[in-house]
Amino acid sequence: MGANGARRISVPHGVNSANHDASRFSASAAMYPYDGGDYPCRCTPEPPRPRNSFMLFRQHHQREVAKAHKGLSNPEISKIIGAMWRDAADEEREKWTLRAEEEKESHGAKYPGYRYKPNRRSKSQGKQNRRCSKVPEVPSLSEILAILAVFSNTTSTTRT
């Protein structure tokens, strides 16, 4: 131990410790060359889904609602825009439905043969995310003893 309580590391005579560490770590890096960024992604990116009428409506109104209600989070803004969508006249909704159909047609021309393939949840994810049904109530100790007492009385009378 040194004067300040630090542990001394022995380095071969005449070797600068920084150079020694650098050579040791470069040798280690040569043994394990993968740094995570050299290999391209094996999966091919899927084309995006075409937006539906509400998504187009929401995207159009997002900025103006955010300006009118500063400080609101995106979920709160979405609730406001959702209420606007529900209250919108049929003509307004029809306008956005037509735009969604146009986008769907141009999407089909851009990505021929596109088919939406949602990712299925694995069994473990499904079990984790599924909401549990009501947990059955466990009887209390006094209820269990009362049930046992009833059974012990009926079995003792039937034996004789």
Q: Read off φ and ψ for residue 103, nearest 5 degrees.
A: -65, -35
Tell me how crowded residue 96 is: count the other CB atoms within 10 A of its CB: 20
Residue of 80, 79, 85 lying closest to 68 (CA atoms) = 80
Distance CA 52, CA 97 (A): 7
Q: What distance in Å separates the CA atoms of residue 80 and residue 62, rounded to the nearest whole number?
A: 10
Q: Is the pLDDT of residue 27 over 90?
A: no
User: For the CA atoms of the chain, what is the radius of gyration?
Assistant: 34
At 35, is the secondary structure helix, strand, or coil? coil
The torsion angles phi and psi of 76, rounded to 5 degrees, stand at: -70, -40
Instruction: Give the tens place of pLDDT for each residue, 133-156.
Output: 566 677 788 888 888 888 777 655
pTM exceeding 0.85 = no
pLDDT at 125 over 80: no
Q: How far is the C-alpha of 153 from the C-alpha of 160, rounded, in Å?
A: 12
pLDDT digits (tens, 9 = 90+) for 57-69: 999 999 999 999 9
Whole-angstrom distance, CA of residue 156 vs CA of residue 145: 16
Contacts of residue 82, defined as CB under 8 A and 6 or more positions apart, other chains included, come to 54
Mean pLDDT of 58-81: 94
Domains and CATH numbers, the chain: 53-110 (1.10.30)
